[in-house]
Amino acid sequence: MGKTSTHCLVYANLIIEGREYGFHVFMVQLRDENHRPLPGVEPGEVGPKYGDNGTETGFLRLFNVHIPRNWMLMKNQQVLEDGSYVKEDKNSKAQYGTMLSIRAGLVMGAGYRLAQGVTIAVRYSCVRHQGFTNTQGESNRANPEHPIIHYQNQQYRLFKQLSLAYAFVFTGKSISDKFQKTMGDLATGDTSDLPEMHATSAGLKALCTFEGASGLGK
């Protein structure tokens, strides 16, 4: 969005004649045919990011931007030409799907990012030598030394993060499976698993991303 996107989906509060109907999804054009931002549209990129610099993360500010009525996503709810609002109750919570899917991906992604850092650190620890193997003999810089992976303190730091990486990946896969089941239930109008899925994914997203970033720093 910060550099290349021409359109985006915006989650915004729908207000009709002063009455709020909650968040809905709208398609918004960002740039013209010359790839310049349209009037009232201010896109940007947040810049370098610790641990995820390969992903473009943009921001967007909108000022008095007008879009056609039919650019609102209206599968489960509609705004008619006369301004009246119509909503299908059986799919009223289906809009949570995208949010839950992103959360599940963040949990698994935190594990993969941490695993990348641990892989680099473990490989380096196997080839980096420090500390003579024979501490009783005469000191000679040509004497063999221990790989630092042999030291318990190094193992504690690395293997702890390695185990967390595995745990995050497996947890992310479990959340993804649970998400698929929840979305299948939502399609039939069953929302019984939604509160648990919402709370679990929100907590795990915060925990795994925080611990993943902390582990990379260590």
Instruction: Give one DSSP letter per residue of 117-179, joined into a string.
Output: HHHHHHHHHHH-EEEES-SSS---TTS-EEEGGGSHHHHHHHHHHHHHHHHHHHHHHHHHHHH
Q: How many CB atoms within 10 Å of residue 108?
A: 19
Which range is least confidently modeled, 32-36, 53-57, 212-216? 53-57
pLDDT of residue 55: 76
CA proximity to 196, closest of 212, 181, 209 = 181
Structure tokens at 74: 């209206």
pLDDT confidence bin for 93, thresholds 50/70/90: low
User: Does position 160 have pLDDT exceeding 90, yes or no?
Assistant: yes
Residue 48, CB-side half-sphere exposure with 13 Å CA sphere: 1
Element holding 62 (H helix, E strand):
strand 58-62
* Arithmetic mean of pLDDT, 177-184: 86
* Arithmetic mean of pLDDT, 90-114: 79
pLDDT of residue 137: 67
Instruction: Report DSSP state, residue 3.
Output: S
* Arithmetic mean of pLDDT, 75-84: 88
* Arithmetic mean of pLDDT, 118-131: 92
User: Does position 107 have pLDDT exceeding 60, yes or no?
Assistant: yes
> Beta strand pairing status for 77-79 and 58-62?
unpaired
Structure tokens at 212: 């993943």
Pairwise pLDDT comparison (135 vs 107), residue with the higher score:
107
pLDDT of residue 125: 93
The model's pTM: 0.64
Question: How far is residue 19's CA from residue 53's CA, in Å, rounded to a whole number?
Answer: 41
Tell me the average pLDDT of the chain. 87
Pairwise pLDDT comparison (188 vs 62), residue with the higher score:
62
Coil, strand or helix at 38: coil
